[in-house]
Structure 1
Amino acid sequence: MSKTMSKVLGGSYMIEDIDYQQIVTPEDFTEEHRMIAETTEQFVATEIAPKDEEVEKLNYALTVELLQKAGEIGLLGAEVPENYGGLGLDKVSATLINEKLTKASSFALSFGAHVGIGTLPIVYFGTEEQKQKYLPSLATGEKIAAYCLTEPSSGSDALGAKTSATLTEDGQHYILNGSKQFITNAAFADIFIVYAKVNGTEFSTFIVERTMEGVSIGPEEKKMGIKGSSTCPLILEDVKVPVENLLWEVGKGHLIAFNILNIGRFKLAAGCVGAAKDSIELAAKYANERTQFDRKISSFPLIGKKLAEMNMRTFVLESMVYRTAGLFDIGLAEVDYDSPNVGYQSAKAIAEYQLECSINKVFGSETLDFVVDEGVQIHGGYGFIQEYRIERNYRDSRINRIFEGTNEINRLLIPGTLIKRAMKGELPLMQKAQALQSELLGLVPGQLFEGTLEQETHLLSMTKKIFLMVGAQALQKYQMKLEQEQEVLSHLADMMITVFAMESALLRTRKLIDQVGEAKATNAIDMTVAFIHEEFERIECWAKETLAAMESGDTLRTGLSVLKKLTRKTQVNTLGLKRKIAAKVIEAEKYVV
């Protein structure tokens, strides 16, 4: 990583221009990063792949054995500090492990729940005693972790949980009662991170051990996909939890839950990168093997177009994910894990990129759904048959839009978080919106762009202006009631997601040109140009719909007139670009940059 990188404020990308030297890209991976990726790939190929069908049959003992083998080579302890038996690796390394493990299907979910949402609450919010007691055994796989937030009556409304925690008269224990639902790893987990309300109001977090009296596990859920992962209810009946097993402080559970969910959302997106690459490889190989009308189906332009779009969107997602990993590495470097204030420091560092985590999660899950759907389509009838792996990828993908907060909830969070940060004075959003008003009056029509990516850089700048214009109008019209206008918020979220996606691809490609020269970066250039032009047209549609929802008559006509100025561009041949991208994917039979 570049030593010149400085901390970037979460959400600032919407109002500032970022230099490409300030982002991390896959082309920046060190030799150590590549070794970690290779180790993970070898582990999946030698340990998981031969036992894949057995894992898919929900063989608990095998899953635990494989988790312990992952622990032996350090994969479980990547994010556990060295003081507690882990490797203390950076977020880029942990993200690579996450991405490469997705070929392990359901096992990847068992792994992810353990190392991420199961272990990280103790890493970031645990006391020294808790870390010493639990982290070494979690890093080796001697103990397996699970995260317990969802309840039968509280899914998206996590703070509506009814599980209770009552302090005993002697002050030595909390008595926990309640049930948790859809708990990954529940059937074989030893340690449960459980959320409960102390005195019925103070949302708090507890480390619950399986061996504690009153802990029981309900039956396995029969799921559409991810069938090899355990998903059961956790039932708590008068469970005596020692007071020293309270995580952080009473009433701080929401800060732990939401920040661990932030990390979970980001990790989910990293998994989507790996699954999308796997699906592209499956589809490209099949397209080169399958013959119809005396031709390989890969030679048909519509099949090529599918492969090009799958590859293009995966390139953009990969750019976003590793950019975000870089943000976390710089932000979390400020946390002093030996400080008594480590909980506050961790919460602040993770919350800084809450908005980016939600963006990654939404874009990642929807990109993967698009990729696997097209993968099935390329396979035709065989894509519907279980013998072909793409069928499982399709089923396994669907949960990602629900996991870690539904995409609808995340879409509401994205603009809401930006507005809150602006209201607190952390980002000069309102000042930028006000400055834009005078700028819009003096907009010059039609510009000529001749250099590589010059027009795309301009379109990104216009997209930010469109968001500021529409967003400021929404704030002015609805004020405190804006949160009730969910369709408007969703469109604003889509604009913010698209800006981050466009910018991540553009910055990565500019950096790549700087590193290897334009001639060797043609595929990345083609993908970036095609993506930005297509998305820019969607931005225009969202802006028109939002303006029409808010205004009418002359006010609407004025808004649409300004929008027309902002959306002028020279049309490019995206179909031609996609043919070039497709040719590279078909030749390589895998994801290509």
Structure 2
Amino acid sequence: MASKELKTFSREDVAHHNKDGDLWIIIDSKVYDISRFRDLHPGGASVLLDEEVGGKDATEAFYGLHRHEVLMKPQYARLQMGVIAGEAAVIHSRVVGELSKVPYAEPTWLSEGYHSPYYTDNHRRFQKAVRKFMDEVITPDALAREEDGKPPSQSVIEAMSKINMHAMRMGPGKHLQGMELMGGIVKPEEFDYFHELIITQEFARSGCRGYGDGLMAGSVIGLPPVLNFGSKAIKDKVVPDVLSGKKLICLAISEAFAGSDVAGLKTTARKTEDGKYWIINGSKKWITNGTQVEIGFSFTVGCKTEDGFTVILVERGEGVETKSIKTSYSPTAGTAFVTFDNVKVPIENTLGPEGGGIFVILSNFNHERWVMTCSSARSQRFIVEECLKWTNQRKAFGKPLHSQAVIRSKLAAMISRVESVQNWLENLTYQMNNMSYKEQASKLAGPIGLLKMRATHSAQETAADAVQVFGGRGITRTGMGSFIEHYHRTVPFDAILGGAEDVLADLGVRQAIRAIPKNARL
């Protein structure tokens, strides 16, 4: 359908249309006829009348109440009838794939004029392609699914499969061999943890926490034990389908009586008399994507066995049941309660040595916690950008909100927190690039635990500050502060998943204490 022809007007022309039944306004050099819309205004006609915007430039009033995307909605866009002659619009919709020009809205390495010792030209080309993909494919679906609570669309999963993004989310490794990654931008042997960091952080820019978990996050944390400790037969059976997005696998560790205390898990696995099968009984709780695991899909399950603690791959079938758990964030994540009732599993499905499950899981925790920190750091930055924009356009006492010293103080704290987390994250990512998987397990468990603790703690502080900056809008699920409300409501999950903050802090310190030289004295 062809767009309607827009007329040009002078500001004097618009000024004549300022009465009931004949009401025009100007927003960013665009002329809107709101004569009929007045009584349909969601905030009531009185808002328009009390502000006396008829015939005037209402740009400041509009952006003090609404997000820019409101004007892009068809029902409001059609109200535009013209433009002001000789004037150009200043405020534009964000271009797909572009970098934000707002200070601190992007990591330093992406900010114009700044440099980094970590990122190459290949990382920059990769980031540009990933952002375009996220803006065009992921974000629209994320916003829609957060609204209706349904799982991510199959079309998104298929689109990710075409560029092998499911495989790239597992990090660098042999599983990437022979694949064309992101249209050939990066070769499998070149792909490193900074490429993975870019993917995870670009995912977080949608601002949809539940959707981020719902989009096969269970596989990101559930498949590595198979990749690193599964037999060739198991890997051949499971890995291709998961990396192609055809099947889902979930990590099932936490229980009602044991979360961070992995050794205290009560789900049991006992061998049959012929030694060919495991019989698994017990339950798991708060399992990400658990409700999305259909027949033929799998769980990576931590079990108590005669030899201690063992990790076993369990395919969903007879005796496996899932129930949805209602949480304070989106059901899109598919958080589930999972029960195992005399589930028979081939002994070949054991991941790693019998009784060696602690090493399997602790090794997996490093990558899981690192991924969570990548996401947390970028989510905080998204909130910083929201707050900087809001304080620049919101007027209080006749001046921009950032003219208040107390607001600038909150902004300073937010910025310093996110920058410190990002820099520590990049330092540890560099270490990961230069260590074997075994070295990472022995050297980085403590530092990554401390980093995640710092990231999630600062995230909650930033969430609280952001609500104060946005006021009532910060606790409203729609409108100007919708992303702030969502972030404040969902950010506590980051502090719990992958290990509670206090547990991770203690892990890091205990590891440091063990490394103190015997002869160290003041």
TM-score w.r.t. the length of structure 2 is: 0.70
Greater share of residues in strand: 2
1:32 aligned onto 2:139: no
| Amino acid corresponding to residue 206 of structure 1 in structure 2 | I
1:223 aligned onto 2:327: yes
Which protein has the larger Cα radius of gyration, Structure 1 or Structure 2? 2
Alpha-carbon shift at residue 329 of structure 1 (Å)? 1.0
Residue 74 to residue 383, structure 1, CA distance change in 2 (3 Å): same
Residue 63 to residue 361, structure 1, CA distance change in 2 (3 Å): farther
| Mapped partners of 2:130, 2:233: distance in 1 | 31
| Amino acid corresponding to residue 204 of structure 2 in structure 1 | T
User: Partner residue of 2:465?
Assistant: 374
User: Partner residue of 2:18?
Assistant: none
| Mapped partners of 1:259, 1:306: distance in 2 | 37
1:203 aligned onto 2:309: yes
Contact 2:252 2:299 survives alignment (8 Å): yes
Alpha-carbon shift at residue 347 of structure 1 (Å)? 4.2
> Residue by residue, what CA displacement relative to the aligned partner does 1:439-496 show, whole Å, maximum 9, x if unpaired?
xxxxxxxxxxxxxxxxxxxxxxxxxxxxxxxxxxxxxxxxxxxxxxxxxxxxxxxxxx
Secondary structure at the counterpart of residue 345 of structure 2: strand
Aligned ranges 1:392-411 → 2 under 5 Å:
392-411=486-505
Q: 2:192 aligns with which of 90, 93, 103?
A: 90
Contact 1:187 1:230 survives alignment (8 Å): yes
Contact 1:40 1:100 survives alignment (8 Å): yes
| Amino acid corresponding to residue 502 of structure 2 in structure 1 | E
User: Partner residue of 1:192?
Assistant: 299
- Deviating 4+ runs (over 3 angstroms): 57-65, 83-88, 346-349
1:160 aligned onto 2:264: yes
Alpha-carbon shift at residue 60 of structure 1 (Å)? 4.6
Alpha-carbon shift at residue 141 of structure 1 (Å)? 0.9
| Mapped partners of 2:348, 2:393: distance in 1 | 60
Aligned ranges 1:317-336 → 2 under 5 Å:
317-332=421-436
Q: 1:285 aligns with which of 389, 395, 418?
A: 389
Residue 191 to residue 35, structure 1, CA distance change in 2 (3 Å): farther
| Mapped partners of 1:102, 1:183: distance in 2 | 20
Q: Percent identity?
A: 23
Aligned ranges 1:9-408 → 2 under 5 Å:
26=116, 28-57=118-147, 59-78=149-168, 79=171, 81-83=175-177, 88=188, 89-104=191-206, 105=208, 106-111=210-215, 113-189=217-293, 190-199=297-306, 201-210=307-316, 212-218=317-323, 220-332=324-436, 346-387=437-478, 388-408=482-502
| Mapped partners of 2:500, 2:148: distance in 1 | 26
Contact 2:150 2:331 survives alignment (8 Å): no
| Amino acid corresponding to residue 299 of structure 2 in structure 1 | F
| Mapped partners of 1:348, 1:49: distance in 2 | 36
Greater share of residues in helix: 1
Secondary structure at the counterpart of residue 187 of structure 1: helix
Contact 2:151 2:214 survives alignment (8 Å): no
| Amino acid corresponding to residue 355 of structure 1 in structure 2 | G
| Amino acid corresponding to residue 296 of structure 1 in structure 2 | P
Secondary structure at the counterpart of residue 228 of structure 1: helix
| Amino acid corresponding to residue 203 of structure 1 in structure 2 | F
| Amino acid corresponding to residue 208 of structure 1 in structure 2 | V
| Mapped partners of 2:414, 2:221: distance in 1 | 29
Aligned residues: 388
Which sits farther off after the overlay, 149-158 or 318-327?
A: 149-158
Secondary structure at the counterpart of residue 141 of structure 1: coil
Structure 1 residue ranges without an equivalent (≥5):
1-24, 333-345, 423-428, 438-593
| Mapped partners of 2:150, 2:518: distance in 1 | 53
Secondary structure at the counterpart of residue 222 of structure 1: coil
Residue 206 to residue 177, structure 1, CA distance change in 2 (3 Å): same
Residue 64 to residue 184, structure 1, CA distance change in 2 (3 Å): farther
Specify which structure has the bigger relative contact order, considering alpha-carbon pairs within 8 angstroms and separated by 6 or more residues: 1
| Mapped partners of 1:40, 1:120: distance in 2 | 22
User: Partner residue of 2:25?
Assistant: none
Residue 57 to residue 144, structure 1, CA distance change in 2 (3 Å): farther
| Mapped partners of 1:306, 1:26: distance in 2 | 27
